[in-house]
C-alpha cells in the first residue's frame, strides 16, 4: 500500500521506525537499547511499542524531517491505543485509515510472501480484531475503512489520496467500524483464534 501511494504521489513515503531487536532490517532505522533510551530521555519518542520480541518506536525528529521536506509520512500503527497515543503526541490532523483483510487472506498473503512467522502474524490479526472490537460504540478512530482484498493496491491508494484531498471530510459515521468488521467479528472466530 505504501508503494502504491508513493507511485501515485512521490510526496508519500513510509516513515522508517526505529527498531531494537532481531529479524528484518529493511525499512527500519536499527538502534541499540542505549540509543533508544537516549531518545526517550530527550522526549523524542512519539510512540514506543513491543511486537515479535522487538521494540519499535517513532522518533519525532524523523516525522519533522519528512514533513519539513514537504513529504507526507505514512505511519503504520498496530492498535487503537497506539493510534490514540500517536494522535495525542503529534497534535496535528492526520488521515487515519484502517486497512483490513479477512484472516484467511492474511494467512494466504503471509504464506505467499514466504514468511516464516505466519503463525505470529495470524496471532497479531486475532489481537487486532479483538482490539478493534473493543472500541467503545461512540468512538470512531478512523477516517477511512478499506478492505485491501476487494481493491487493487493502486485503487486503494487512490481512495486514500481522495480522502486526504477532501479537507472537509466528515468523520466515519458512528457504528461504521462495527459494521465494517461484522463479517470477521461474527465468522465464528473467537478473538483468541
pLDDT in tens, 119-151: 989 999 999 999 999 999 888 899 999 999 999
Most confident of 30-34, 84-88, 121-125: 30-34
At residue 129's C-alpha, the angle toward residues 125 and 133, to 5°, is 170
- pTM for the full predicted model: 0.82
CA–CA gap between residue 153 and residue 73 (Å, rounded): 18
DSSP letter for 150, please.
S
Whether the per-residue pLDDT at 170 is higher than 80: the answer is no
Q: From CA 177, how far away is CA 141, in angstroms rounded?
A: 9
Band of pLDDT at residue 193, cut at 50, 70 and 90? very low
Report whether pLDDT(86) > 50.
yes
d(CA 6, CA 12): 5
pLDDT at 169: 55
For residue 53 the three cell numbers come to 520480541
Q: Looking at per-residue confidence, does 191 or 111 come out higher?
A: 111
Evaluate whether 100 touches 142 at the Cβ level (below 8 Å).
no
Q: How far apart are CA 134 and CA 103, in angstroms?
A: 18
pLDDT at 168 over 70: no
Cβ(11)–Cβ(71) below 8 Å:
yes
> What ranges in the chain are assigned the alpha helix state H?
2-8, 33-41, 60-68, 80-90, 103-113, 118-133, 153-165, 176-185
- CA max distance for the chain: 47
Amino acid at each position: 500500500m505504501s508503494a502504491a501511494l508513493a507511485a501515485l504521489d512521490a510526496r508519500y513515503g513510509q516513515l522508517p521506525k526505529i527498531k531494537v531487536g532481531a529479524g528484518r532490517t529493511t525499512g527500519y532505522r536499527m538502534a541499540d537499547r542505549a540509543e533508544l533510551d537516549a531518545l526517550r530521555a530527550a522526549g523524542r519518542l512519539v510512540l514506543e511499542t513491543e511486537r515479535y520480541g522487538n521494540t519499535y518506536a517513532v522518533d519525532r525528529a524523523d516525522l519533522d524531517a519528512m514533513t519539513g521536506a514537504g513529504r507526507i509520512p505514512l505511519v503504520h500503527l498496530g492498535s487503537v491505543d497506539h493510534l490514540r497515543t500517536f494522535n495525542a503526541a503529534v497534535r496535528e490532523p492526520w488521515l487515519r485509515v484502517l486497512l483490513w483483510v479477512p484472516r484467511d487472506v492474511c494467512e494466504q498473503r503471509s504464506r505467499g510472501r514466504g514468511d516464516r512467522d505466519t503463525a505470529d502474524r495470524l496471532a497479531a490479526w486475532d489481537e487486532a480484531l479483538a482490539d478493534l472490537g473493543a472500541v467503545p460504540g461512540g468512538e470512531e478512530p478512523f477516517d477511512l475503512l478499506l478492505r485491501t482484498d476487494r481493491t487493487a493496491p493502486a485503487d486503494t491508494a487512490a481512495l486514500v489520496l481522495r480522502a486526504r484531498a477532501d479537507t472537509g471530510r466528515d468523520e466515519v459515521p458512528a457504528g461504521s467500524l462495527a459494521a465494517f468488521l461484522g463479517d470477521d467479528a461474527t465468522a465464528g472466530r473467537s478473538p483468541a483464534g
